[in-house]
Structure 1
Amino acid sequence: MIRTFIPNILTLMNLLTGAVAIVMALETNFYIAAYLILAGAAFDFFDGFAARLLKVSSPVGKQLDSLADLITFGLAPAMMLLALLKQYWTGDVESSITQNWIIFLPFLLVLFSALRLARFNIDESQSKNFKGLPTPANALFIVSLVFLLQAHPLWITYEFVIPIIIVFSILMVARIPLMGLKQFKGPQKIYILILLSGSLAALILFKFEAGVIIIPFYIALSGVKTAFSKNNNLHQK
């Protein structure tokens, strides 16, 4: 039946938008690349929604979804950052070895995205909440970082950019608890509403640069939620 293919078609559209976003990133058309990554995120949401609605989820669809996410939320944002750094860092150092390799550091994000997605596929404890930063959230941060650095080129330094790449690579595979957004009930819905309100305010004020505020806010809010949950559990014992 045709309905069994609908979720996979949406997943392939996610993959396609990610692939085209990479081309746009290489041509430094960052706005188009960003819109394509956002479109990929929409397809990523609706493929899961369609699978649940039509009750046609499958192991193949799950694996295909991860492959698409690696391209759209792993490689495409990394290519945006690489293309930007290449403009400023190529020929900016004396060591030829550094000059040849330092601009490829954003590929670290791709490697850790792959590891993150592989772990997610076999970790049943992440059905409602997450352990480590999800790849779409990491992509949002990196895309916004590109626009932030483009607006403030004096910040495009090794001391500023390299630690960010390393930290956000590690965050994707760190076992830190982060709240999911699908379970909109109980105390969690309050945190989700706070996150959505803060995200909306950030988008209005900072537009494409909002992700560098939204994602740290999401991580901090998840930490507050975890701390309160543990505190409540201790009082109930």
Structure 2
Amino acid sequence: MDQRVETMGAVGNLRLVGVADVFTVSNGLCGLLAIYFFATQGTDITIGSALILLGFVFDGVDGWAARRFGTKHDFGRVLDSVSDAITFCTAPAVMVYVTFTGAMDDLEGVSAVTATAFDGFVMGTSLSMVALGWTRLWRFTTGGYLMPHFCGLATPAMAFLAIMVSHILSPQF
């Protein structure tokens, strides 16, 4: 049986990109840039936090644009979840990790064991943010949007909470 895969090429793929998709990808790029700044700026989380907040704006606008202008494909919901996973799950988890890992190292009277245990707690918290957020988005993408009521914590709310806690408790604050 001859199975052929038809490729559209770069120009053909661009024809599939709608207005909402531009905002959705912009949301994901904000998350990727936030991760970059968290990784390179040490404990200064200001720029990365601002990029996550900008991702909020793009996430809100992409939904409006999809309703206003329609969509050119069914992939938009998946693309939105991937962008949300980057911006509202992974980037905030990296921020929490960067902000709080090693926070007890310089405190007098804190043993190395306690500092290491705290760092393990921070790592576990960060990994939980990613795992639970991705699971929430996966459930939504695979039919959870059809549920009559909202269940769980929205990933943008988790990201906002992480930003607030990180800024308030940050050693830089």
Q: TM-score, normalised by structure 2?
A: 0.76
Structure 1: distance between partners of 2:136 and 2:122: 23
DSSP 3-state at the match of 2:112: coil
Q: Is 1:142–2:159 an aligned residue pair?
A: no
**Percent identity (aligned):** 29
Offset of residue 62 of structure 1: 0.5
Structure 2 segments unaligned to the other structure (5+ residues): 1-13
1:123 aligned residue (144, 153, 161) = 144
Q: State the match for 2:23 in structure 1.
A: 10
Change over 3 Å in CA distance of 1:99–1:16 after alignment to 2: same
DSSP 3-state at the match of 1:59: coil
Q: How many residues align?
A: 152
Change over 3 Å in CA distance of 1:58–1:89 after alignment to 2: farther
Structure 2: distance between partners of 1:50 and 1:22: 26
Q: TM-score, normalised by structure 1?
A: 0.57
The answer to whether the 8 Å contact 2:24/2:62 transfers is: yes
Spell out structure 1 runs of 4+ moving beyond 2 A: 1-5, 89-93, 95-103, 124-127
The answer to whether the 8 Å contact 1:7/1:50 transfers is: yes
Q: State the match for 1:174 in structure 2.
A: none
Q: Which amino acid aligns with 1:19?
A: L
The answer to whether the 8 Å contact 2:88/2:156 transfers is: yes
Offset of residue 2 of structure 1: 5.6
Q: 1:69-107, CA deviations, whole angstroms, 9 ceiling, x for partnerless residues?
A: 011000111111111111314585327974773331212
Change over 3 Å in CA distance of 1:71–1:134 after alignment to 2: same
Alignment of 1:148-167 (within 5 A): 148-150=168-170
Change over 3 Å in CA distance of 1:42–1:57 after alignment to 2: farther
Structure 2: distance between partners of 1:89 and 1:96: 5
Q: State the match for 1:72 in structure 2.
A: 87
Q: State the match for 1:56 in structure 2.
A: 71
Pairwise CA RMSD? 2.7
1:111 aligned residue (114, 131, 135) = 131
Structure 1: distance between partners of 2:104 and 2:72: 45
Change over 3 Å in CA distance of 1:97–1:32 after alignment to 2: closer
2:152 aligned residue (118, 125, 132) = 132
Change over 3 Å in CA distance of 1:75–1:31 after alignment to 2: same
2:33 aligned residue (20, 23, 35) = 20
The answer to whether the 8 Å contact 1:51/1:57 transfers is: no
Offset of residue 29 of structure 1: 2.8
Structure 2: distance between partners of 1:58 and 1:130: 25
Offset of residue 59 of structure 1: 2.5
Q: Is 1:93–2:123 an aligned residue pair?
A: no
The answer to whether the 8 Å contact 1:24/1:32 transfers is: yes
